[in-house]
């Protein structure tokens, strides 16, 4: 009833090809952004900001990164955790070598180093495909993981082998380290994630994104219409790793405030991959849905009993959470194998014709 485009006429090609052609969508995005930028920092408590929103945004960014590679280009990767780690360690090395350089530049720098590493490990993708490529990226995961533990130079010869995040300021306001206010860190993460999502959206709607999708759908056909496979696949690896690297650097600097190599283990790769699959392959909004389902849902389940006043043992809650999340993942995949993004699309379509479906 409220969600339909009747009466919204497009008079230019630009308007017709806009990412959000329907006015209600644009209003919706505006409202979401307003809530994210204004309401949450003003009214959210520390727990909501620190333990829910910041990690959610960071995971969303990592999922977008992997989605560009797996969802848009069709290259399966199990090295996400390692690429995130490269971003984090590179950022740490950069900021300890150049303490006066703005930490934002270091975070983005970490992303570029991750992109370079991603290109190196993406080289085999020209020859190997599908599951075999997954195994090749798995090798990247193990090798980089090994480096994080074994190369003391990466952690500045710290005895405990962990990254410790120093205090860094932006315009005189502390943004990393323990004294940084949660809201500041949240706003920084949010801005970076929003800008990078916008960039990703432009990328996938443009020439490069179309090349990626052509390669995904059929690489021989893509080659025949003049798309050079190697550069295409490598740009996918580079951009994807860049996103993952930035997410990793933000994870350590703006969320954890310190990390050990264990954080970037294969489990992280799987977590992000599940987010992408459940959220929807080849969908940016799906990355957010996936991150919400996999990361926020367990927190909600853990909190629900105490909020409702039921007392259950902490361990039992944990076991229940595992079971419920597992069941929900299966349920969602049975209901819609193409992920939550597809569900969202179906829902919107139904709303458009409601209440007179045809």
Partner 1 sequence: MRVKHLVLSAALAAAVGVPAMATSAPAQEGIYVPLFTYRTGPFAGSGIPIADGMRDYLNMLNERDGGINGVKLIIEECETGYDTKKGVECYEAVKGKNPVMVNPYSTGITLQVIPKAAVDKIPVLSMAYGLSASADGTVFPWIFNPPATYWDGASVFIKHAAQVEGGLDKLKGKKIGLVHLDAPYGKEPIPLLEALAKEYGFELKLYPVPAADMQNQSSLWLGVRRDRPDWIYLQGWGAMNPTAVKEAAKINFPMNRLVGVWWAGGDDDARPAGDGGKGYSTLDFHAVGTDFPVIQDILKHVVDKGMSQVASKDKVGENLYNRGVYNSMLIAEAIRNAQQITGKKVVNGEDTRRGLEALNITEARLKEMGAEGFAAPVKVSCTDHNGHHKVFVAEWDGKKWVKKSDWMEPMRDKVRPLIEAAAKDYAEKNTGWPKRTEACDKSS
Query: Binding to partner 1 by residue 262, rule CB under 8 A?
Result: yes
**CB 131 → partner 1: shortest distance, Å?**
21
Query: Binding to partner 1 by residue 124, rule CB under 8 A?
Result: no
Query: Binding to partner 1 by residue 166, rule CB under 8 A?
Result: yes
Which position among 91, 263, 276, 341 is part of the footprint of partner 1 (CB under 8 A)? 263
Q: For residues 216 and 234, is the Cβ–Cβ distance under 8 A?
A: no
Helices (H), 283-339: 284-291, 297-307, 314-335
Query: Binding to partner 1 by residue 45, rule CB under 8 A?
Result: yes
**CB 350 → partner 1: shortest distance, Å?**
7
Cβ closer to partner 1: 88 or 259? Answer: 259
Query: Binding to partner 1 by residue 172, rule CB under 8 A?
Result: no
**How far are the Cα atoms of 67, 77, 204, 230 from residue 211, in angstroms, in the given order?**
15, 19, 9, 11
Phi, psi for 279 (deg, rounded to 5): -70, -35
- In terms of phi and psi (left: phi > 0; alpha: psi -120 to 50; beta: otherwise), the region of 340 is alpha
Query: Binding to partner 1 by residue 312, rule CB under 8 A?
Result: no
Query: Binding to partner 1 by residue 346, rule CB under 8 A?
Result: yes
Which position among 206, 231, 326, 347 is part of the footprint of partner 1 (CB under 8 A)? 347
Q: For residues 164 and 158, is the Cβ–Cβ distance under 8 A?
A: yes
**How far are the Cα atoms of 121, 122, 124, 226, 261 from residue 223, in angstroms, in the given order?**
22, 18, 17, 5, 40
- For residue 99, the SS3 value is coil
Q: Total residues at the site for partner 1 (CB under 8 A)? A: 63
Window contacting partner 1 (CB under 8 A); options: 118-126, 212-220, 232-240, 307-315: 307-315
**How far are the Cα atoms of 197, 229, 260 from residue 165, in angstroms, in the given order?**
26, 40, 11
What does the alpha-carbon distance between residue 246 and residue 194 come to, in Å, rounded to a whole number? 13
Window contacting partner 1 (CB under 8 A); options: 23-31, 75-83, 152-160, 195-203: 152-160
Query: Binding to partner 1 by residue 317, rule CB under 8 A?
Result: yes
**CB 37 → partner 1: shortest distance, Å?**
16
Give residues 15-34 in contact with partner 1 (rule: CB under 8 A): none
What does the alpha-carbon distance between residue 226 and residue 34 come to, in Å, rounded to a whole number? 43
Q: Which residues sit at the interface with partner 1, rule CB under 8 A?
A: 44-48, 50-52, 55, 96, 99, 149, 156, 158-162, 164-167, 174, 177-179, 255-263, 265-266, 289, 292-293, 296-297, 299-300, 302-304, 306-307, 313-315, 317-319, 322, 328, 332, 335, 343, 346-347, 350
């Amino acid at each position: 009833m409220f969600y339909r485009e009747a009466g919204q006429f497009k008079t230019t090609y630009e308007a017709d090809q806009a990412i959000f052609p329907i006015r209600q969508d644009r209003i919706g995005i505006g409202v979401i952004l307003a809530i994210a930028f204004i309401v949450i920092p003003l009214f959210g408590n520390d727990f909501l900001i620190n333990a829910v929103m910041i990690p959610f945004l960071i995971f969303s960014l990592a999922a977008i990164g992997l989605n560009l590679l797996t969802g848009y280009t069709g290259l399966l990767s199990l090295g996400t955790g390692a690429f995130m780690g490269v971003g984090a360690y590179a950022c740490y090395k950069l900021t300890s070598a150049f303490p006066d350089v703005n930490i934002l530049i270091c975070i983005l720098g970490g992303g570029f180093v991750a992109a370079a590493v991603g290109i190196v490990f993406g080289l085999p993708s020209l020859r190997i495909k599908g599951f075999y490529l997954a195994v090749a990226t798995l090798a990247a995961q193990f090798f980089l993981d090994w480096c994080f533990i074994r190369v003391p130079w990466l952690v500045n010869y710290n005895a405990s082998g962990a990254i410790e995040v120093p205090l860094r300021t932006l315009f005189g306001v502390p943004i990393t380290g323990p004294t940084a206010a949660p809201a500041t860190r949240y706003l920084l993460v949010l801005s970076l994630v929003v800008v990078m999502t916008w960039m990703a959206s432009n990328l996938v709607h443009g020439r490069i994104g179309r090349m990626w999708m052509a390669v995904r759908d059929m690489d021989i056909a893509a080659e025949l219409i003049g798309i050079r496979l190697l550069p295409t696949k490598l740009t996918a690896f580079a951009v994807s790793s860049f996103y993952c690297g930035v997410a990793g650097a933000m994870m350590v600097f703006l969320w954890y405030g310190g990390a050990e190599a264990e954080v970037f283990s294969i489990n992280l790769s799987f977590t992000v991959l599940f987010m992408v699959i459940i959220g929807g392959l080849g969908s940016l909004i799906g990355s957010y849905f996936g991150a919400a389902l996999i990361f926020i849902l367990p927190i909600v389940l853990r909190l629900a009993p105490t909020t409702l006043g039921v007392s259950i043992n902490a361990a039992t809650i944990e076991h229940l959470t595992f079971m419920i999340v597992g069941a929900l993942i299966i349920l969602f995949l049975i209901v819609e194998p193409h992920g939550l993004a597809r569900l969202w699309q179906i829902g919107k379509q139904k709303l458009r014709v409601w209440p007179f479906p045809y």
